[in-house]
Amino acid sequence: MEFDCKYARPNGEVVRAVHAGHTLEEVRGKLQDQGFLPLSVRARGRGLTLGRKGRRLPFKLEDFIIFNQQFAALIRAGLPILRCLDLLKGRIRNPQLGSHIEAVRDRVVSGASLSEAMESEGVFPRVYTASVFAGERSGNLVEVLNRYVGYSKITLNARKKFRNSLIYPAFLVVLSIGMVGVILGFVIPRFAALYAGFGTELPLPTQILILVSGAVQNSMIVVLPAVIVGLVAFRLWVGSKPGRRWLDDVKLRVPLVGTVWSMFAMAQLSRTLSTLLEGGIPLVSALGVVQDSSGNRVISDAVAYGANRVREGQSLSDALERTGKFPDLALEMMRVGEETGALPEMLNHVADFYDEDVDLRVSALLGWVEPVILIFVACFVAVILISLYLPIFSLGGLSGA
């Protein structure tokens, strides 16, 4: 049986190769015996549910955090790993997570290590499986699990805060589009039919408004399906590698918003890398694991380039600086961490700094977006009302004369 293997050599070089063996554990053991650090070993042809780019956890991250908190507490109490899994497998509320933990337990019973069993499931984050592997090798699994729980909580809170801050502006935009559609499609045609019976020439603003409304109504049958087809095609293209990379590049280049995206990606990358380094994973191997943690393919390509330069002997800060994709302040803080031997701690400071900066910038940006949307809606409604009532005012003036 053949296995796709990704492992790190003693000099930090990450290698992808195909190895033959009867079981995953056998292949992993052979690599370890040769002095290599296995990062992933998977049977050829198996589908992955996570570890591949762009996939999400098949269960809630909150449930996974709770499981790891309980798991670390039981191990700290002195219970064997197998006994911990036996106690936890029936107490997990999420059925999907529970089934995966039960499968992990069965693999551990058959002789696999915890990290091998977790990795074999193919649903757990690479950051997590790499951290567990490092904890097993160092004999400090409890600390590794607690560190991962802390990392996950901070990351989850940052994402929730970022998404929640966009809910109200998105609601205003959708509401505005719906209101414009109702006015153009239903309200104005009723007034147009009313004014047609007057037999008088309408004011120019009213004529323009009626023409726009008529054009919208006449083209709706063609435009609406075309818009839907265009959105579906764009969604499919964005799902491809070239499309996703183009979209990620656009995100980083958009004025104001691009800076926020860049900072958010930097915070995610720094915190993930710090977690792995504190768990004992070598720098080059850790860079290979965190390559996709930023959620942006442009940043991921830059990290891959930086990993190659680090493998050749350059410092991390110098290697990432050559890509031109990372903020100068973050690079300077990394450089200080490398010079003082406290890179993981400094990476945590980088993540904390950018998490706070992203929060402040998003709040300030939304503080401008909301009134701008409201002013636009108010101006649009005012123009509509004035254009619709001008004929009535004109007729009133004529009757008074």
Q: Predicted confidence band at 53 (pLDDT cuts at 50, 70, 90)? A: very low
The answer to whether the beta carbons of residues 16 and 31 sit under 8 Å apart is no
**Mean pLDDT in residue range 201-225:** 79
In this prediction, residue 401 carries a pLDDT of 46
The answer to whether residues 301 and 180 belong to one domain is yes
The answer to whether residues 29 and 5 belong to one domain is yes
Q: Which residue has the higher pLDDT, 55 or 193?
A: 193
Task: Write out pLDDT tens, residues 150-175.
Answer: 878 877 887 777 777 778 777 877 88
The answer to whether residues 256 and 397 belong to one domain is yes
The answer to whether residues 353 and 333 belong to one domain is yes
**For the chain, how many structural domains are there in total?**
3
The answer to whether residues 143 and 198 belong to one domain is no
The answer to whether residues 156 and 172 belong to one domain is no
Q: What percent of the chain has pLDDT over 70?
A: 90
The answer to whether residues 259 and 337 belong to one domain is yes
Query: Tokens 């400094």 map to which residue?
Result: 346
In this prediction, residue 90 carries a pLDDT of 78
The answer to whether residues 88 and 195 belong to one domain is no
Q: Predicted confidence band at 54 (pLDDT cuts at 50, 70, 90)? A: very low
The answer to whether residues 317 and 178 belong to one domain is yes
Q: Which of 10-14, 45-49, 141-145, 255-259: highest mean pLDDT?
A: 141-145
The answer to whether residues 13 and 63 belong to one domain is no
**Mean pLDDT in residue range 323-334:** 87
- Collapsing DSSP to helix, strand or coil, 82 comes out as helix
In this prediction, residue 397 carries a pLDDT of 52
In this prediction, residue 183 carries a pLDDT of 79
Is a pLDDT exceeding 80 seen at residue 88? yes
Q: Predicted confidence band at 136 (pLDDT cuts at 50, 70, 90)? A: confident
Neighbours of 66 (CB within 10 A): 18
C-alpha dist (Å) from residue 87 to 42, 80, 143, 223: 28, 11, 20, 58
In this prediction, residue 400 carries a pLDDT of 47
Q: What percent of the chain has pLDDT over 90?
A: 2
CATH number assigned to the domain comprising residue 338: 1.20.81.30
The answer to whether residues 60 and 43 belong to one domain is no
Last residue of a domain, one of 125, 140, 163: 163
Neighbours of 393 (CB within 10 A): 11
Task: Write out pLDDT tens, residues 1-17.
Answer: 667 787 777 766 677 78
Burial 167-190 (b: 16+ CB within 10 A, else e): eeeeebeeeeeeebeebbeeebee
Last residue of a domain, one of 146, 163, 180: 163
In this prediction, residue 44 carries a pLDDT of 61
In this prediction, residue 297 carries a pLDDT of 83
Q: Which residue has the higher pLDDT, 365 or 54?
A: 365
Q: Predicted confidence band at 385 (pLDDT cuts at 50, 70, 90)? A: confident
Instruction: Put the strands of the sheet holding 14-20 in their side by side order.
Output: 14-20, 2-8, 37-43
Q: Domain containing 316: what range?
A: 167-401
The H or E element that residue 83 is part of is: helix 81-89
Q: In DSSP terms, which residues pair with 20 in a beta bridge? A: 2
Q: Which residue has the higher pLDDT, 50 or 85?
A: 85
Q: Predicted confidence band at 51 (pLDDT cuts at 50, 70, 90)? A: very low
C-alpha dist (Å) from residue 67 to 108, 281, 380: 17, 23, 52
User: What distance in Å separates the CA atoms of residue 48 and residue 398, rounded to the nearest whole number?
Assistant: 76
Count of all residues that appear for the chain in the document: 401
In this prediction, residue 396 carries a pLDDT of 56
Q: Which residue has the higher pLDDT, 366 or 287?
A: 287
Task: Write out pLDDT tens, residues 278-312.
Answer: 877 788 888 877 776 666 788 888 888 888 888 88
The answer to whether residues 148 and 73 belong to one domain is yes
